[in-house]
Structure 1
Amino acid sequence: MTVKPFNRRNFLKASVLTGLGAALAACAPKTATPAASNQGASAGSQPKEEAPTAAPASAQAVEITFMGWGAPEEDEGVKKAIEQFQKEQSEVKVTWLHTPEQYAEKFLASVAAGTPPDTAFIGSDVFRTYARDGLLLDITNYVKSDPLIGAKDYFIEPQEEQRCTYKGKWYGIGSCWVAPHIYYNADTLEKAGVPFPSNDPDEAWDWNTFLDYAIKLTVDRNGKTPADSGFDKDNVERWGVSWPTWWIPLHSAVASNGGDFIDLNTGLFVLDKPEALEAIQRVYDLSLKQHVAPSDEVTQQLGMSTVQMLENGKLAIAIDGSWALSWMYKMKGRLGTAVLPKMKVPATNMQAHLHSALAASKHPDAAWKWVRFLSTPYYQTQFCKIGLWLPSQTALMTPEGLKTWLNPEVHPEGYELIVTKYVTNYGKVLYMPPGYPKTNDVMQPAWDKIRIGEATAEEALPPAVAEANKILEEEATKGS
């Protein structure tokens, strides 16, 4: 699961053409009934788009397509999964449609043209919009009747069902989980006399402790910290922390303060509530007020990636997604990881793309077989091994399961606690109702004002939330 850090301007990309596919999908069956079959028991770059990859199969095999994005690691992983799938059965042949660029537009254009893929990657932000508009196959009966996938304790719950359902029906299965946490340069912290943070959520730094250490770790060209008189905020040699302000890291902070982006029951924004406003302002103030975090402009001027800043001593602590471990582990020096600092309670955002069958597929049973295979340990394990994914399947979190993917060359000591204790117990899924991407136009100006210090969260967000909720209320009246 590759998550591209994008700003809210890009939210619209995933829904530009949704309406074009609705009519076509409405003609397809909305609910599929499982057929008797052999279920099987598999218990950073810009790549160029390539020709579809088809796997060999028998002459009688049903042919289906699978569309998705992904950097080379995911592309290669999908190809290996197809090979394994063909070894386990001969009834279904899968062709991989790797689409690393302009995925949402090309996906929906294929739907509008009447040539949709049978199965596909679906972004979590547009998942319920697509389900409402009839683009996705209802796989509830398949899931519930499957002895493996449908088992009560197969996935981390209730998070899996929360992200995979719309109006009580399953329209996909999550690829994995990913979640923000701390990365730090252990050498930098040690030299500064700052204790290492922990992977155990019971030992998470509280916000004040985190801020004190961030101040201590931030040094200007004269060796002064923000706590010293004469600190030069315009000439910082080392920043204490970086905390990105796109939705996944921000939601983690809001959840830790007892708030949320969207209320699960009403489907409306609650970013105007005190808990959310306080958490959001705290994150932005790391740069605006405390001067312990670089602004977006400073980061761009430095021209360094996060891992380069860490290894070159320009940054001590980075908040980033778990997927970043797949390249962070290559950092020169000692890399450490830890849970996020807590405000009121430990919390992190849980997110990932989903695998869905398309309602317009002429081969729903075959499409389900493939989606099911992608939900078994073989597929998930290969990406967990390289630090790209966190597991969503409980079998991979047992002592025996951990041995199948934890890699001492990739995962720092104690990393298993982030999976078995932190994400499992404190992970929060951001509910994104139908029409969610359309709120970008009214929310983005508010975020921009907060970012540059033109307005506080308390000043900018309430009016934007009111307008955004009007959009969501209107969207809630659409569809069946």
Structure 2
Amino acid sequence: MKRKQLVSLAMSLILAGTMLAGCGSSQETTNAVTQESATQTEAAETDKAEAPKAEKADDGSKVHITYAQWGNDTETAATQAVADKFNSEQDEIYVEVLKIDHDNYVTKLNAMATAGELPDTGIMSEAGVLDFAENGLLYDISDMYGEGDAKPLESLTFTFKGTPVAYSAANEVLNMWYNIDLLKEVCEKQNLDPAEFTPPASADAAWDWNTFVKIAQTLTLDINGKNALDPAFDPQNVEIYGCNINTLAWQMEVWALSNGGGYFNADGTECTINSKETADAIQAIADLSLKYHCAPEVSDASNSLNTSLGTEKVVMSTDGAWNVGTFLGPDAQFEYGVGVLPYFQNKVTICTGGPNVVFSQTEHPQEAMTWLKWYYQEENSWSLIEAGTWMPILESWYTDQALTDKWINNENFPEHDMYQSAVVDYARDNSQSTAWYYVNGTEEFNSTLTMALSYVWTGDQTAQEALDEYAEELNEIFTEYNE
């Protein structure tokens, strides 16, 4: 299905600003889908209709709860408007939104923690949650959802030593996205059936790695029209690449898991970064460009769909589901589709999403959880879900067909059955938590890993050599944060 040619100017500006807000670390992509997006969206909506005015204070009959967020005055006012909706719907809790500057957010929270003045609730970055939990600053939220409640997907639960301390406010998973127009063009040039080279939309039909590589080589053409399987192929003059893999360190974890490895063991008690399985998976990614010439050279510039598929010189590329709302829907000038990831041993994707937390210094933990449980409801972030920037967190949206249809019957999305199988069902059945859900210190870990992998992408070291060389440093980081 063709994506919408136009979206509102407000949404375009909001999403552009959101992407910029997340820059500056290996987590720039995931930061683009944190709760800040919601406040910005609500701000745009207040331009269309006057938002309810925030009360100066409650009348004293309600329990007073604070919610900390980063954002400017407009964003804070918009979030307060959402909180005021909650305030008006019940007579037990009053929520006040606290604005903290984005750049000083963690520093301010640390100072408030030292003074015993933390807010009741607030937004956190994915990589920051467990650091606060380790210091005893987050509340055990095991009781947020009761028996019979629609609960978030298990993979979206942040845990510290087995205790739930946060849920993501949105769900995002990794997929294979592709340019249908370019796929057809490349196949037509070679008298091939596009159906045989279209990324599968179901895990049951997922390509194994060898099949994926062969297909990517077939779809790679040089300036003379030779594909990368042809002995006469010219790797120095490639016109169209068959594939691109996002090589941000946190996204590379999915390939290690698929090959039976991983950065850490399943319960996060051991760093396994230089296991053979992990090294072999990373080497396979490097070989796509170094050996098989079916992917462009690895660079930071290729780690987003707008700079890979957006060139219209790459047939398929991996990245997160948020791209429907941030690039593919509003900006892509081609028909696009989505498939599941190829696999080594295990058919797996990974999920992420910025969380909200209850701080342990609150005097009203039950009321704080009641507020966040309400805030997590899909209708409170529907504009982002409808745009394709967020996916729902509650399991019911993945199991109740009526809710799924409400979500994905959307002309901004790919074809309904394709998206349901490749994204909705895949997220429900094949998604595992990214490491920062259960391991502390991942920001520093991934930064160091990025340095190690830079030598792999250039071919200066094999993956095993690079990971062995950096294993001690990476283990030290892991141990420092996870003793």
Distance 1:262 1:440, change over 3 A: same
Q: Deviations over 1:393-442 (max 9, x none)?
A: 12212111113322422221121123442111111113342344443575
1:191 counterpart residue number: 185
1:452 counterpart residue number: 458
2:413 counterpart residue number: 411
1:321 counterpart residue number: 320
In structure 1, stretches of 5+ residues that fail to align are 14-43
Residue 172 of structure 1 is aligned with which of 166, 176, 198? Answer: 166
1:82 aligned onto 2:86: no
Distance 1:99 1:369, change over 3 A: farther
2:152 counterpart residue number: 155
Question: Partners of 1:389 and 1:166 in 2: how far apart?
Answer: 25
Task: Please state how far the C-alpha of 1:276 moved relative to its aligned partner.
Answer: 1.1
Question: Partners of 2:382 and 2:365 in 1: how far apart?
Answer: 26
Contact 1:271–1:461 (Cα < 8 Å) also in 2: yes
Task: Please state how far the C-alpha of 1:101 moved relative to its aligned partner.
Answer: 4.8
Task: Please state how far the C-alpha of 1:241 moved relative to its aligned partner.
Answer: 1.5
1:434 counterpart residue number: 440
Task: Please state how far the C-alpha of 1:95 moved relative to its aligned partner.
Answer: 1.2
Distance 1:422 1:257, change over 3 A: same
Contact 2:72–2:101 (Cα < 8 Å) also in 1: no
Question: Partners of 2:252 and 2:25 in 1: how far apart?
Answer: 12
- Which amino acid letter does the alignment assign opposite residue 181 of structure 1? N
Within a 5 Å distance, the mapping from 1:226-237 to structure 2 comes to: 226-237=228-239
Q: Deviations over 1:47-85 (max 9, x none)?
A: 8xx9xx983364224444333458999989856643432
Q: Deviations over 1:280-313 (max 9, x none)?
A: 111122222222222244947xxx9633653552
Within a 5 Å distance, the mapping from 1:320-359 to structure 2 comes to: 320-326=319-325, 327-330=327-330, 331-359=332-360
Question: Partners of 2:299 and 2:440 in 1: how far apart?
Answer: 33
2:266 counterpart residue number: 264
Within a 5 Å distance, the mapping from 1:115-126 to structure 2 comes to: 116-126=118-128
2:474 counterpart residue number: 468
- Which amino acid letter does the alignment assign opposite residue 422 of structure 1? Y
Distance 1:69 1:154, change over 3 A: same
RMSD: 3.6
Distance 1:266 1:286, change over 3 A: same
Task: Please state how far the C-alpha of 1:169 moved relative to its aligned partner.
Answer: 2.4
2:191 counterpart residue number: none
In structure 2, stretches of 5+ residues that fail to align are 1-14, 32-36, 44-50, 188-193
Q: Deviations over 1:351-378 (max 9, x none)?
A: 1122101223354344222222123332
Contact 1:242–1:318 (Cα < 8 Å) also in 2: yes
1:202 aligned onto 2:204: yes
Task: Please state how far the C-alpha of 1:103 moved relative to its aligned partner.
Answer: 4.7
Specify the SS of the correspondent of 1:349: strand
Contact 1:206–1:341 (Cα < 8 Å) also in 2: yes
Distance 1:118 1:399, change over 3 A: same
- Which amino acid letter does the alignment assign opposite residue 467 of structure 1? E
Question: Partners of 1:71 and 1:338 in 2: how far apart?
Answer: 38
Residue 181 of structure 1 is aligned with which of 169, 172, 175? Answer: 175
Question: Partners of 1:164 and 1:319 in 2: how far apart?
Answer: 24
Within a 5 Å distance, the mapping from 1:17-28 to structure 2 comes to: none
Distance 1:170 1:474, change over 3 A: same
1:423 counterpart residue number: 427
2:8 counterpart residue number: none
> How many residues end up aligned between the 2 structures?
429
Question: Partners of 1:318 and 1:76 in 2: how far apart?
Answer: 38
Specify the SS of the correspondent of 2:319: strand
